[in-house]
Chain A
Amino acid sequence: MDISLALPRLCGMGLSFRVDGFRLLFACLTTYMWLMTSLFTPEYMAHARKKGRYWFFLLATYLATMGVFLSDDLYTTFVFFELMSLASYVCVIHDEKPATMRAGGVYLAVAVIGGLVTLMGIFLLYHLTGSLSFASLRASCADLLAGGGREELKWLYIAGLCVLFGFGAKAGMFPLHIWLPMAHPVAPAPASALLSGIITKSGIFGLLVLAADVFAGDGAWGLLIAGLGTATMLLGGVLAIFSVDIKRTLACSSMSQLGMIILGVGMQDLLGEHNALAVRGTILHMVNHANLKLVLFMAAGVIVMNLHKLDLNEIRGYGRKKPLLKAVFLTGALGIGGIPLFNGYVSKTLLHESIVEYVELLHQGAGSLPGFLTPHQAAALFQGIEWLFLLTGGMTVAYMTKLFVCVFVERNADPALQREYDRKGRYCSPLTGTVLCLAALVLPVLGCLPGLTLDRLADTAQTFLHGHSPAHPVHYFSLVNLKGGLISVAIGAAIYLLIVRRGLMARREDGARVYADRWPKKLDLLTLVYEPVLLRALPALCGGACRLLDLLSDGVITFVAGTVFPAVFGFFCRVLDFVTDGCVLLLRRTTHRQRRPAPVVPDGYRFSYYAGTCLNAAARLLDRTVRRGRPSGRDYVLLLAERQSLYKDTRRLIRASASFSLLMMGLGLAAVVLYLLVLQ
């Protein structure tokens, strides 16, 4: 089947769709998931508010998810991917409690930031290759990888990393997984099932496009993805073991399983021509995980619907007397634990075999690998990864056992509560029960008859990833393949008994053993790294710098225009202004000074006038210097003139008087006598 539809004028770049085996499989899977959850939703949401909003955005998410899986070029994928992120946000935060809003905020932030970075990567890819349709991307990227210059290759990898950012975040890939363990537990259970089962797979879809079309057969890319996948599955497994919240455990389990899928995606590129096992394993684990999480989240949803509690210690023992729920959950647990005869086993075996095959290829000197590793190193590395894979399988068994034993086997620490749990009564409607049974029934059917079911699905779907059919059919139940599954179970049993039962349980004051949350609260990538960096350091730095720039630019402009400019130019202009004025003043003081009329000196008073003027000048000088502030206030000209006239009057009077004449005569006589005496 191959139908395609292109709408070239739409949305700027044009949209294009295609239906082939892979897309048909996932379109059907999406529809199946939505159908099952929609049948479960009415009972789950019976007492919720704003159901209309929930249904609207649920359907919008459905539409967008279908768009992602049916898209035939990266741009169309992206458009619907963003739409899906935004629409699913409203479903996630449906109950609008504070914790929900916080988780939703993280979900939205990751979606929007991831989306924009991905858009950037898509843009770079478009610039490098000139087209975004999968077929032409494959052709032109193959050319680039084969014969591109250093510069072009660098940009191709940058573009790839950018695209990986958004899709990887949606796929819960380390270190962008932060939203996943937060958003799943707070969303309504049907939405959790969809989120975990199918929406994360749309992220994987992007990774598959990158692996199969952009970096087909590129060892370095394969190693990167495989490494990230390994980290994701390990971290998910560890978080799930430590979790004491049923939905959080399932969410972390999703992360772990998605890590396995991502590892498979990486193996596709590493295996190059021989990627049949990896391709089929990846596709089938995507299908299986979707089905498994549908069952598990709906089963958890039934518990939450009745108890409105998620803590393992509180719901402990709830399922003891509920055989239907117990059977359904057990099927899911066995499936996801990779127990033979259940579906998870088949895909995990394929993924495991693909790693084994790659190690063998490396020993033979085949298989693509990045330049900086020798085949021997790579072989050792992937032998390690093989064991980590088995270890993750073991962790899966361990945390599913923990959940099952806690909810369905053990008694609650509080006997009264246990009695209430054990009371007969309807805990779900017949419709919900039927849906649960049907969904659970699929798992063993797929697992028991892989040749009839899963292999055929893989056959139709693998052309999308350019997978080659395996040289010989895989015998899932041969001893070699069973060995891997059994090792995982053994590891799981060991982890459960040694770590979960001993390390992760604590004795309460009344002596009852309860599940303890031993995960250090501080050890959270979100609160440890992302929030301090993105919400505090970065805004403080950038914002501070910009604020400074703003002030500077504003300040400099104001300062220059308001102060410096007027001051400098004002000074010059005043100087220039003063030059003219100063010239005029100088001339007036010197050459063009107005003459004062010459003072009229009265006759007979010449001396007192000049002496008085001199004294006046001296007094003025003293007034200005020594006697500052207390001037004498005398006019010496007048003073002297007065004295002179007094002197004149006195002289005239004396000359005119008789005594003066007698005195003069006496003086004359005395002079004559003196003359006679002395000279004679």
Chain B
Amino acid sequence: MSSYILLAPILLPVLSGAGMLLFPFWNARARNIFVEAVVVVNTILTLAVLRLAPRETLYLFSLSEKLPLTLRIDGLTVFFAAIVALLWPLATLYAFEYMRHEERVNTFLAYYTITYGVTLGVAFAGNVFSMYLFYETLTMVTLPLVMHTMAPEAKRATRKYLYYMIGGTAFAFIAMVFYVLYAGGTEFTYGGTLDLDRIAHHDNVVYLIYLMGFFGFGVKAAVFPFHSWLPDASVAPTPVTALLHAVAVVKAGVFAIIRFTYYCVGPSLLAGSWAQHTALLFAIATVVFASTMGVREPHFKRRLAYSTVSNLSYILLGVMTLTPLGLLAGLAHLLFHAVMKISGFFCVGAVMHQTGREYVYDLDGLGRRMPLTFGAFLISALSLTGIPLFSGFVSKWLIARSLFAQGGILGQAGVLALLYSALMTAVYLLTVAVRAFFPDREADTASLASYTDPSWQMLLPLGVFSVVTVLFGVCAGPVLSALEGIAQGLV
């Protein structure tokens, strides 16, 4: 198999989406079938490529001597691309039903599909420049999705989204340029490729540059104080919030940080430095901050967005311990959180779609009318809280272990932050689920009588995600042993 096959999973959705923009469908049914077919075919293609394609670098072209555009598959690529590929078809299925009554669905689905290819591009990138390119493109192709409703607050959120992203990538760009100039080779290599002789005695500069990269890519990962675009961006339609702002976009930020930390600068260079401590400190601050804000937030979707902010920083907490155990923990949480949070958002979306209710105090007793939706939400909430038997527990346990192995005040503070956050998660998610099933006030349940669970297109993804959440929680062994190879850089 020629290595040019690596281009296929990226180009197929991008070209299909572009085609839809140029030649819009007039028939909703045909359009849906086309989109779902493209997405499913691309998923199969991606998985096949990940499994079969040769593990060699595909060199496309070069902007300058040191800036070649290359694609390559390694362990981390397989991990991230597989998550994206497996979640996309289900999210698309959900989007059909959710967007049924919206306008400009053709444009929406076109960009939605393009985003699929671009996200895979981030995963497949073979060096930091290629990743940066796809990363920047990802911002651009998701803009129309955030702005979709065209409401004033959507436009405002989009502006904010754009400013934050551009500002972030500006910092990341500085870090990238520095790295490219001082690296031995720009190909992603586990352990980093900085030329140690050339940067000798300039430790503090390296750390500063690293932090620029961390916070630059950290804007997508919603690190405090660059988090506030994420709750605001929840004005986007739910399929966007769920898939992009819980998985694809934000996890691309985390993915980029992992790449930059472990594959460019190198964990051994950073371990024990003030750069690492600063990054850990901000991750801890984000966890504490976002969990508290989650409790205060009455808007259901924004509340979950805050939960995403704190969970992204869980991942960063694990990653920034700079140990294989920490990376394993981070990757595990990346995977588990993707599944359980997308499930949570889909429940929110189902509620909004079926009832139009957006605030948590309006949901009392709704669990009786929409048992399947809220059952899925309960599982998601329990898992996010970190109750054993659900997947969230497994990864949180690993993160806590890696933090404790890290030791020091920051390690202990991190574990405390995890505990605090778990308690707050219980408050801001479990209470919603409990009150949906067991309302405090019996009186106004009559107004709920007409609401029902949504159609199969919405329930199928929810069911799959719930089952997977429990499955990972009960039997995480195989997944963890697969991730262990990636975390140690063996794959």
Chain A residues proximal to chain B, CB less than 8 Å = 9-13, 75, 78-79, 82-83, 86, 93, 96, 98, 101, 104-105, 108, 112-113, 115-117, 119-120, 123-124, 126-127, 539, 542-543, 545-547, 549-550, 552-554, 556-557, 561
Contact = CB atoms under 8 A, between A and B. Distances in A.
Interface string B457-478: 0000000000000000111110
14 contacts: A11-B474, A108-B434, A112-B426, A116-B385, A116-B386, A119-B386, A127-B401, A542-B292, A549-B224, A549-B289, A557-B225, A557-B226, A561-B163, A561-B167
B474 A10 contact: yes
Interface string B287-303: 00100110110000000
B423 A101 contact: no
Given A11-B394, A86-B387, 4 more contacts: A9-B477, A112-B423, A119-B422, A553-B225
Contacts of B386: 116, 119
B228 interface: yes
Interface of B: 163, 167, 224-228, 289, 292-293, 295-296, 385-389, 393-394, 397, 400-401, 404, 415, 419, 422-423, 426, 430, 434, 438, 440, 442, 473-477
Nearest to B394: A12
A76 to B, nearest CB: 9
Contact of A539 (B226, B295, B476): B295
Contacts of A86: 387
B389 A117 contact: no
Nearest to A158: B412
Contacts of B476: 11-12
Contacts of A561: 163, 167
Contacts of A96: 438, 442
A543 B295 contact: yes
A120 B394 contact: no
Contacts of B296: 539, 543, 546-547
A-B residue pairs, 8 tightest by C-beta: A553-B225, A12-B394, A9-B477, A546-B292, A79-B388, A543-B296, A554-B228, A542-B292
For the residues of B in contact with A, the DSSP-based class is: helix
Nearest to B164: A557
B167 to A, nearest CB: 7
Contacts, number: 98
A79 B401 CA distance: 18
A300 B224 CA distance: 56
Given A12-B473, A12-B476, A116-B423, A123 B438 contact: no
Nearest to B421: A116
A95 to B, nearest CB: 11
Contacts of B225: 549, 552-554, 556-557
Contacts of B438: 93, 96, 101, 104
Given A108-B434, A553-B225, A9 B163 contact: no
B413 to A, nearest CB: 13
Contact of B440 (A13, A98, A126, A539): A98
B233 to A, nearest CB: 14
A34 to B, nearest CB: 22
A549 B401 CA distance: 29
Contacts of B473: 11-12
Candidate in B227, B296, B476 with the most chain A CB atoms within 10 angstroms: B296
Given A96-B438, A546-B292, A553 B475 contact: no
Contacts of B434: 105, 108
A487 to B, nearest CB: 45
Contact of B393 (A12, A98, A117, A543): A12
A78 to B, nearest CB: 7
Contacts of B404: 123-124, 127
B253 to A, nearest CB: 17
Contacts of B422: 116, 119
A82 B226 CA distance: 36
B388 A12 contact: yes
Nearest to B224: A553
